């Protein structure tokens, strides 16, 4: 039976008198592909920021692979096995695509950098990292862009490189903030299919923010968590979410128009 790679319990975040996230609790199992949806301003990205250490939560706990990550810095959480992307890609624009992929790999150096460079085992490990990076680019079908500067990429290509970069850190749990925002339909479908494959082949637990409810319901996700006004409104299969009147009302609002 799959075990949780991420468990969030009673997560709350206040900004002064505004409660952006209100006692949110959920889990993601290893090898599970979970969607996190809700109208704009419902607290999805704030939840991500608290989980990944970008924001300090007001209360609640976050566990990564059974270890308490509450209050840890982002780099400490990354070392536990959790990696994330942002809605707007943050590639190193003056570095090549392959260089962008090689930076995030964990445990690259021994405590003494000079010894690390001199040891044959370290050189062999570096060779394997390069091979892994090219393998990922091949899977993403962008090997031909390996030596392009990140600044030369289109929006969709940047999304692919960003996802590949996160996977180079060999995460056990991956948080993706709108990985297909601004990406054309066919490429968006391909990105989601790639993510689905990664959950199966690498047993990575994935939590994906997606604002487009129609798109996430068509995608091959295992489970969907719906947020509204900082709380969990509903959790269930895509079919259950599709049939929920409460979810439809949350997206349409009181006047039948999408909320901003």
Length of the chain: 260
- Coil, strand or helix: which one is 22? strand
- Coil, strand or helix: which one is 121? helix
- pTM metric for this prediction: 0.85
Beta-carbon neighbour count of residue 233 at 10 Å?
18
- State the pairing for strand pair 82-84/173-177: parallel
- Say how far residue 47 (Cα) sits from the centre of its chain: 12
Domains annotated on the chain, with CATH: 4-90+166-252 (3.40.50.300)
Cβ–Cβ < 8 Å for 94, 149:
yes
pLDDT score, position 7: 98
pLDDT score, position 63: 97
Q: Could you give the angle at the alpha carbon of 80 between the alpha carbons of 58 and 220, nearest 5°?
A: 85
Cα separation, 127 vs 28, whole angstroms: 33
Q: Is 229 exposed, middle or buried (0-12, 13-18, 19+ CB in 10 A)?
A: middle
Sheet architecture: strand order including 223-228: 82-84, 173-177, 205-209, 33-37, 223-228, 231-236
Place of tokens 């993403």: 140
Cα separation, 189 vs 138, whole angstroms: 18
| pLDDT tens sequence for the chain (260 residues) | 678 999 999 999 999 999 999 999 999 999 999 999 998 889 999 999 999 999 999 999 999 999 999 999 999 999 999 999 988 888 999 999 999 998 876 555 444 555 555 565 566 777 888 998 999 899 888 999 999 999 999 888 898 999 999 888 889 999 999 988 878 778 888 888 888 888 888 899 999 998 777 788 877 899 999 999 999 999 999 999 988 999 888 876 643 443 33
pLDDT score, position 259: 37
Which string of DSSP letters, residue by residue, matches 69-103?
Answer: -TT--HHHHHHHTEEE--SS----TTSBHHHHHHT
pLDDT score, position 58: 97
pLDDT score, position 260: 35
pLDDT score, position 113: 53
Beta-carbon neighbour count of residue 174 at 10 Å?
28
pLDDT score, position 189: 86
- Coil, strand or helix: which one is 28? strand
pLDDT score, position 258: 37
- Coil, strand or helix: which one is 20? strand
pLDDT score, position 257: 40
Cβ–Cβ < 8 Å for 208, 34:
yes
Cα separation, 132 vs 109, whole angstroms: 17
Cα separation, 164 vs 227, whole angstroms: 28
């Amino acid at each position: 039976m799959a075990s949780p790679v991420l468990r969030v319990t009673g997560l709350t975040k206040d900004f002064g008198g505004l409660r952006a996230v209100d006692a949110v609790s959920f889990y993601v199992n290893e090898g599970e592909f979970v969607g996190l949806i809700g109208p704009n301003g419902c607290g999805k990205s704030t939840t991500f920021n608290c989980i990944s250490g970008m924001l300090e939560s007001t209360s609640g706990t976050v566990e990564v692979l059974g270890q308490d990550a509450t209050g840890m810095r982002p780099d400490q959480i990354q070392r536990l096995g959790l990696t994330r992307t942002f809605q707007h890609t943050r590639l190193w624009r003056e570095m090549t695509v392959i260089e962008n992929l090689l930076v995030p790999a964990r445990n690259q150096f021994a405590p003494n950098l000079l010894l690390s460079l001199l040891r044959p085992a370290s050189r062999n490990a570096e060779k394997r990292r390069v091979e892994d990076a090219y393998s990922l680019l091949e899977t993403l079908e962008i090997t031909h862009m390996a030596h392009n500067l990140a600044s030369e990429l289109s929006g969709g290509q940047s999304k692919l490189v960003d996802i590949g970069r996160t996977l180079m850190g060999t995460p056990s749990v991956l948080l993706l903030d709108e990985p297909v925002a601004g990406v054309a339909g066919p490429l968006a479908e391909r990105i989601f299919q790639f993510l689905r494959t990664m959950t199966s082949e690498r047993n990575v637990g994935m939590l994906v923010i997606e604002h487009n409810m129609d798109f996430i319901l068509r995608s091959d996700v295992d489970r969907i968590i719906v947020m509204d006004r900082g709380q969990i409104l509903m959790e269930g299969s895509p079919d259950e979410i599709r049939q929920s009147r409460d979810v439809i009302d949350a997206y349409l609002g009181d006047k039948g128009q999408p909320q901003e």
